[in-house]
Structure 1
């Protein structure tokens, strides 16, 4: 019996077809707006864009989550998805300095940026880092509204050598190490998934104090 749960396929729709090229300096773009996905219609559309244009395709984000459409004067330029953080990753956990019990109690205060794509017809150098900076300011309030608490740290995993994390670095994220390439089900000491750089972004100056305080 196959007990593996597979995500439903998300087929491309005409709504996600390529649009005319947008090429201009980022400082000349209209103000960016971050629209959280709320309705089922928007959810299906977000999924379809990710399936079509993100190199990993679509799969459901884990746990508590917020997904965004990013627009410039109503023109869609990018999509972001945030969900539950990884249960355990040594470089991140050393950076925080928490105990296993503290991690169990406060892991929900870390949010994972699981998907980020700028649509391929958008050619605006510097846009990615600007989006990352803006969403880091908006997400805590949106998360508070939806879930009743504010996260204090963002994380993301950038596959190497496919990507170098240039936009995260430009947005002042912190590179703390690499995964070991074993994945959740990978056998010990054997690479079974791509190695990824681990990037973190504090959302609160006292994030360590919050994450390591005694219960």
Structure 2
């Protein structure tokens, strides 16, 4: 068989024989246990040293769906045989409309692994136009508060795999990008709650978040961030808050998305914005010895 590329890992016919042997050996332990064993045998880990077991499970499931792997059924049936979103949490939606100077102090809190995470998930699911999607891989979630009232949510996840204008701006070759992509984080969600109308609030929240994100990242994942990225859909937004927070527009996407080995045209052109977190970001991101 021709080698397959799944989650940026090449799978050969020899690999399939090895994977199947591991699956059969640990069949009764379940899918999660199997993925962790494979990660250990491959030394497939994140920069923080954590096993890439979520990526490995996706790899195994892809092979199974292609009919290339005998794979045990899931031990637990999730959500009564169907996927459901986060539980809806009701909060006070009394309109907030004022000048930023009259709003009072705004505080940005990191809510991942806290009692507020379920509220974040619920608000994103109910009010963000893209809805809630379970994030695979390293990520952070934040909420902004005015007093005790939530006013915004902002989420960060893994950087996009291939962005031509970003690569040109940084000066990345493909091998160096593959090695250092984890030093870039993507602003995947940004929501000012729909009942909040306060001019300049979005840029203020974004700036407050940027000031703390690298410190929070190091505490959880034990390595720094050197750059942030985001993608602004041209037909929907103009990127005002990113411009006001000194993000750099470096280009636009081609309106395609990757599915397997194919690039599908969806026509949604997005502006590409970057925010360096270190003045030496180009040298750091091009360091092939990191």
**Normalising by the residue count of structure 2, what TM-score does the alignment of the two structures yield?**
0.68
| Aligned equivalents of 1:144, 1:57: Cα separation in 2 | 28
Asked if structure 1 preserves the Cα contact closer than 8 Å seen for 2:112 and 2:142, the reply is no
| Aligned equivalents of 1:52, 1:193: Cα separation in 2 | 25
| Aligned equivalents of 1:124, 1:103: Cα separation in 2 | 39
Matched, 1:150 2:224: yes
Asked if structure 1 preserves the Cα contact closer than 8 Å seen for 2:86 and 2:118, the reply is no
Asked if structure 2 preserves the Cα contact closer than 8 Å seen for 1:89 and 1:179, the reply is yes
Matched, 1:16 2:59: no
Q: 1:172 to 1:16 in 2, by over 3 A?
A: farther
Matches within 5 A, 1:22-41: 22-39=96-113, 41=115
- Which of 182, 202, 206 matches 2:256? 182
Give the greater-gyration-radius structure (CA).
2
By relative contact order (CA 8 Å, sep 6+), the higher-ranking structure is: 1
- Which of 96, 106, 117 matches 2:180? 106
Q: Deviation of residue 132 (structure 1)?
A: 1.1
Q: Deviation of residue 49 (structure 1)?
A: 0.6
Which residue number corresponds to residue 42 of structure 1?
116
Asked if structure 2 preserves the Cα contact closer than 8 Å seen for 1:34 and 1:70, the reply is yes
Q: Deviation of residue 184 (structure 1)?
A: 1.7
**Secondary structure at 1:62 match in 2:** coil
Q: 1:39 to 1:63 in 2, by over 3 A?
A: closer
Matched, 1:94 2:173: no
Q: Deviation of residue 16 (structure 1)?
A: 3.4
Gaps of 5+ in 2: 1-60, 66-81
| Aligned equivalents of 1:157, 1:36: Cα separation in 2 | 22
Greater mean deviation of Cα atoms: 88-97 or 62-71: 62-71
Which residue number corresponds to residue 60 of structure 1?
134
Give 1 or 2: higher helix fraction: 2
Asked if structure 2 preserves the Cα contact closer than 8 Å seen for 1:25 and 1:124, the reply is yes
Gaps of 5+ in 1: none
Q: 1:16 to 1:160 in 2, by over 3 A?
A: farther
Output one character per residue of 1:136-158: Cα deviation in whole Å (capped at 9) or x when no partner: 11101111111111101000011
Output one character per residue of 1:151-208: Cα deviation in whole Å (capped at 9) or x when no partner: 01000011111111111111111111111111122845x6225111111111111110
**Normalising by the residue count of structure 1, what TM-score does the alignment of the two structures yield?**
0.90
Alpha-carbon RMSD:
2.2
| Aligned equivalents of 1:16, 1:56: Cα separation in 2 | 19
Q: Deviation of residue 38 (structure 1)?
A: 3.3
Matches within 5 A, 1:92-171: 92-171=166-245
User: Hey, which bits of structure 1, 4+ residues long, moved more than 4 A?
Assistant: none
